[in-house]
Structure 1
Amino acid sequence: MKTPLNIIFAGTPEFAALHLQALIDSQHNVVAVYSQPDRPAGRGKKLQASAVKQLALKHNIDIYQPHSLKDEDAQIQLAKLNADVMVVVAYGLILPKVVLETPKLGCLNVHGSLLPKWRGAAPIQRSLWAGDTETGVTIMKMDEGLDTGPMLLKEALTIEATDTSATLYQKLSIVGPKSLLEVLSQLENLPAQAQDDSLATHAKKLSKAEAKVDWHINAQQLERNVRAFNPWPMAFFTVQDTNIKIHKAEVVNTPTDKLNSPPGKILHSGKDGILIATPEKALLLTQLQPPGKKPMSAADLLNGKAEWFTEGTILQ
């Protein structure tokens, strides 16, 4: 569209802030920003503004932080902004029907997957967890469902064998803003494509409990978990009542003389890493992080804690 749009932006984390920055730098007018209420963070548990709020403050944009958009007063306030469109990126609050219908051109969402695959809270992580070879962003017009709205644009990118959730976020944070601006430039003329619900998968939220390594899971899946759960909640295992985070791991063939080893057994520990048996192949741990320390090579960890990883030990 040649005419600049008046946009309400709703988002919370850094990923969303990068999209807000793209809108600020564009021809369009960001008339207001919505972000979740400030949350306690850090050791002191002091209230901390979201990345989106901090950026809005920097650019003197009006900020609204309702606890819910189901509240009638919040809905009236939003309507008074008289926006052309509302852009939603990782906001974290449900938009009721009355809000979805308030902007003249509706509400758009930037979603970190190739819909209808991985609808839900953790699409980037679940694409890695499942072993997908590609992901991307979808710009869709929002409806009352969970990421079910008609799609306006999809942009794919390849998932590399070394990608983590952190690196995919970085890649998608480049693709997403460009795709968003492309959609806004032709919003009234873009055809919307309905999603095929039969192809939908759900990207359920991650948990710390899921990040604890179960050595009865095959090495291929565990290696994907390591990458999917980085930077949060981080895959970890317990040895000597101590939780060790895993930053990097590799799938390797189990040595022929140790093919029948029980899951969790330490098959080898040395400069190349710590090799753990699983039901299918073995997992070589190469970069680890003990509590209170920075990530380090397995060799460096063994220099101080070799007795924890003696060959034949079975990890829980």
Structure 2
Amino acid sequence: MSIRKLSNTASPDEIAAVLSEDGVVCVTGFASPETLSGLKEDLMPLLDQIPAGDDPFFHGEKTRRLSRLFGRTDHAVSIALNPLFLETARKILQVNPVKIWLGDQMLESVSDIQVGATQAIQIWPGQPGQPLHRDDAVYLWRHPTFEREARVNVMVALTEFTHENGATRVIPGSHKWDDERMPRVEETVSAEMSAGDALMWLGSTYHGGGENTSNGPRTGISMPYDLSFLRQEENQYLSVPIEKVKAFPEEVQRLLGWSRGETFLGWVEIGGKIVDPLELLKLEGFKEVGLIP
């Protein structure tokens, strides 16, 4: 089974339909030339300065990983707000409303979504393939996921992705497997992409970074959306400077976790009132996490 490709003229409905059926899809021309060049200008010099990992099993000894992207490049916002990703994630994650009784009132609610993590990943020559895994394993999610997914991930290619240089390996259709079936490398397909393309996959889809047998690195950016009642994999409150957060559009602030959901998850108390964290960001004296006047 191959990875289906859709152009950037496809609608979120079309992308979500393929994701639901295959567990993975490639969107060509996802990032604009301006976003692509900005990401490379901001992040490539930083990747040059950090060492490779020291984990031979999962993170890789010849793989460089750079996180805290919202604090390091304004172009992370362009990925997060790209409707081909954001609206697709909403269509996948915000389904099957939960019924809630409040006294004699019946309410229906769906979880909001949030950025779960950010990472620029650069695989260098000599790096073996990453163990195949499901991203939603961090949440101990059970499979198959009949009711809803926990995560929709995206990998935006900053450089060309080829089979030889470590393109992400994916098993299309594996989101429908139960937890007893083991993934095998021979079942994977390499997600070959041009710079600016994006690979999207469900948290329940088996995948892993590929082996790099070429003579140069491949670089991409991963930024999953998760259900907002789950703990963020990367702590965005400590990863992004408060002054940076305060300058973001409100939608981005909410997507980074600075929000109170419909069921009041994430509230803060100010002056005896239970309020949305966005109100905290508006306080003039609020400079860092934990400092509430």
Q: TM-score, with normalisation over the residues of structure 2?
A: 0.25
Q: TM-score, with normalisation over the residues of structure 1?
A: 0.24
Question: More relative contact order in 1 or in 2 (CA 8 Å, sep 6+)?
Answer: 2
As a proportion of its length, which structure holds more strand?
1
